[in-house]
Structure 1
Amino acid sequence: MFRSLTRDAIAAFRGSSLYAKYVVGLSFWFLGTQAASAHVKWFCAYDAAGQPRSLENVLCQDFELLLGLALFCFFSGCLVERTSLGELTARSLNRFTDGLRLHTEEIIRAVCGFFFVSLWAVGGILLTPELKTTSPMVGPLQLAIAAGLLWRRTMPLSAAGIAVLFGLAVRDYGTFHLADYPIFLGLAAYLALTGLQKDLFGIPPLDVVRYATAVTLMWASVEKWAYPEWSFPLLIEHPGMTLGFDSEFYMRAAGMVEFTLAFALAWTPLVRRVAAAMLLGMFVSACFEFGKLDVIGHSAIIVVLIAILSDHQPREADYRAPWLAPAGLCAALTVTLFAYYVGHAATFNTSIL
């Protein structure tokens, strides 16, 4: 049976269309993809309560091909980490990011201040462009959050303000919608813990926001599989992003790239730094493509990625055996897909299959 399956797989691989998809899928790991960075809810119409693509449609042959590529790339990166090449890469990153690492806290505070002042200036927004509000108290609160970031002692107050805005968004848009944005709770935790000079049960503040960022991007990647049609207008408007491939395959690839790099943020020291660098390049390039709204909306996540890239003080406990990488990625993918579809069905009474 195994030999039969192997022969079938080789025959399928030799097919021109599958071979082309293999090549373009692999190229995404080196070139990145702007669609994985642009938040479609900010630019296109969407229906969060609509029926998502069935899991049978999502878990197709293209998905399996892309997952295989993701496992190969991720496992290869983990193998390289503790070799001389990995050490050379780490030293090179250290030289490039030393100055940033020494001022991580100040950079995060400055960019978060810019973010909340920008929200106040635009007006009518809670935390991200699609979270609209008419409350007259939100603008002053955003200014107060920005002002509190000027001094370390008042950073916990700014963190409390972010939590209030997040709570208002949950009230107005629901828990499932705000599952897109746990990064804001992570930022609030970072600011509070840094201001108080404390850890969270032994977890450093930067690691708290790192994990929150990983969960945010993994969750967002599922939307690219569940609702690829939301992004189709963007791909029509920016046809160069698809590299000449059909929109369906492109969105599956974009989701897989984003999910794998997001999971890598929660993995070992060099792997997460390289993943942060790749995501950073994707988010910054998307800002040039999509303009001012994207700059403001993604400034918080960009500064967190810079902080992760600059962090080169790993603990021995941060390292894991490379063979755990594929199992970890598959487990995270399974849990995230399950949580998304079950949560959506429970919230909006839609079908899972």
Structure 2
Amino acid sequence: MKKLLPFGIIIGLMLTPLLTNAHVKWFTEVEPQKESIEQILSPLFMSLALTAAVVLGVLTLLIPKTTNWKQIQNWDVRLSSLRKYSRIILKYGTAIALIIQVVNGTLFAPELPITNTLTTVLAWISIALLLVPHPISTKLGAALLLGLFVYVTMNFGIFHMLDYGFYVAIIGVLLVGRTRYENVGFPFLYLGTGLSLCWVAVEKWVYPTMSLDIVVNHQVPTFGFDPGIFIVMAAYIEFVVGYLLVVGILNRVLGLIVTVIFVMTTMLFGMKEVIGHFMVHIVLIIFIIEGVSFYNPPIKMHKTKVDQFIFVFLNFLFVLSTFVLIYYRFA
């Protein structure tokens, strides 16, 4: 029973709403207060970094063995048969997500209000173009959406909009459809979504007071942990999810788990959660359908299991350090 306790804690953390409530700023009015770098790089933080790196390295040795399980193979066949619908789901899902946002007076995220009529008109034109079942119309709609994203970025700043970098990846997929670059679309979507998750996870370490406010006001269960410790752990789980998407491990499983968690957070945070995360739901559905069939993940550069373990271990620590330092310096 004791052996199952750590596993239960991990599952509990993964199922808590705070974990995938990636955009903390949506649900708190607390003024952001940057934590000192000494407090961020605490013994707990460093211990969890090494633990996560080891666990990720071990996953590279265990996951390939599951591909021989009959049930996994059956699921793979069934999901693979749906791949022909992936781009259709992305196209119309994007249009629906934009409709929800514009109707509620925002664009791309709940804290990004539409401030003028021209933006509203251009957003509706983009939606209309995406709804037309023609590749040229899709590309025009995506190009217009890219222009709107650039405009919003100019107003709110590039480091703020990195939270929503997956929209750039989505636009990229729509633009390269039915071209000779079509095959790079979905890998770019994996990369953009994974990096966005990593980026917003760092927010919980650099600005912990906002997350603490959410834990208190929304009565988020901490499973017996001190709220400060719980936030550090939850942010690690979120960062690991993003990293796994980038390196190409557990993409279908992650897509399913995170989709379930987002449904749970909707029950806790309401309509704002729907507005903000509907587009992410669409992306995760595509991950569930696609797996990594089209994606040559970075881990495949290394042939032996030992090399793959070392690569994931060291690369995770490097990526983690880079994100923390960049976020702390510029965000």
User: Scaled by the length of structure 2, what TM-score is found?
Assistant: 0.87
* Partner of residue 59 from structure 1, selected from 18, 41, 63: 41
Native 8 Å contact 2:114 2:120 kept in 1: no
Native 8 Å contact 1:77 1:271 kept in 2: no
Are positions 1:306 and 2:290 aligned together?
no
Native 8 Å contact 1:148 1:155 kept in 2: yes
CA pair 210-25 structure 1, distance change in 2 beyond 3 A: same
The match for 2:329 is: 342
Are positions 1:142 and 2:123 aligned together?
yes
Are positions 1:168 and 2:147 aligned together?
no
SS of 1:130 mapped into structure 2: strand
The match for 2:203 is: 223
Native 8 Å contact 1:75 1:322 kept in 2: yes
Native 8 Å contact 1:33 1:241 kept in 2: yes
Native 8 Å contact 2:259 2:284 kept in 1: yes
CA pair 167-230 structure 1, distance change in 2 beyond 3 A: same
CA pair 62-187 structure 1, distance change in 2 beyond 3 A: same
How far apart are the structure 1 equivalents of 2:74 and 2:198?
28
Native 8 Å contact 2:13 2:19 kept in 1: no
The match for 2:262 is: 283
The match for 2:305 is: none
SS of 2:88 mapped into structure 1: helix
How far apart are the structure 2 equivalents of 1:291 and 1:101?
31
The match for 2:312 is: 325
Native 8 Å contact 2:13 2:234 kept in 1: no
CA pair 96-172 structure 1, distance change in 2 beyond 3 A: same
Percent identity for Structure 1 against Structure 2 = 23
SS of 2:250 mapped into structure 1: helix
The match for 1:32 is: 15
The match for 1:10 is: none
CA pair 176-312 structure 1, distance change in 2 beyond 3 A: closer
SS of 2:160 mapped into structure 1: helix
> Deviation of residue 215 (structure 1)?
1.0
* Partner of residue 244 from structure 1, selected from 224, 228, 237: 224
> Deviation of residue 62 (structure 1)?
1.8
> Mean alpha-carbon deviation: is it higher for 87-96 or for 128-137?
87-96
> Deviation of residue 90 (structure 1)?
4.5
The match for 1:158 is: 141
SS of 1:134 mapped into structure 2: coil
> Deviation of residue 286 (structure 1)?
1.3
SS of 1:129 mapped into structure 2: strand
The match for 2:52 is: 70
* Structure 1 stretches of at least 4 aligned residues deviating more than 6 Å after TM superposition: none
Native 8 Å contact 1:35 1:241 kept in 2: no
Structure with the greater relative contact order (CA < 8 A, sep ≥ 6): 1 or 2? 2
SS of 1:180 mapped into structure 2: helix
The match for 1:3 is: none
How far apart are the structure 2 equivalents of 1:322 and 1:29?
26
Q: Show structure 1 runs of 5+ residues with no match.
A: 1-18, 345-353
> Deviation of residue 23 (structure 1)?
3.4
SS of 1:288 mapped into structure 2: helix
How far apart are the structure 2 equivalents of 1:262 and 1:35?
15
CA pair 24-118 structure 1, distance change in 2 beyond 3 A: same
> Deviation of residue 311 (structure 1)?
1.3
SS of 1:131 mapped into structure 2: strand
Aligned length: 316
> Deviation of residue 98 (structure 1)?
3.5
The match for 1:267 is: 247
CA pair 283-247 structure 1, distance change in 2 beyond 3 A: same
RMSD: 2.5
How far apart are the structure 2 equivalents of 1:239 and 1:204?
42
How far apart are the structure 2 equivalents of 1:92 and 1:250?
37
CA pair 87-149 structure 1, distance change in 2 beyond 3 A: farther
> Deviation of residue 67 (structure 1)?
2.1
The match for 2:28 is: 44
> Deviation of residue 132 (structure 1)?
1.8
CA pair 162-90 structure 1, distance change in 2 beyond 3 A: farther
The match for 2:237 is: 257
Deviations along 1:75-109, one digit per CA (max 9) or x if unpaired, are 222111222x2432752541452454231111112
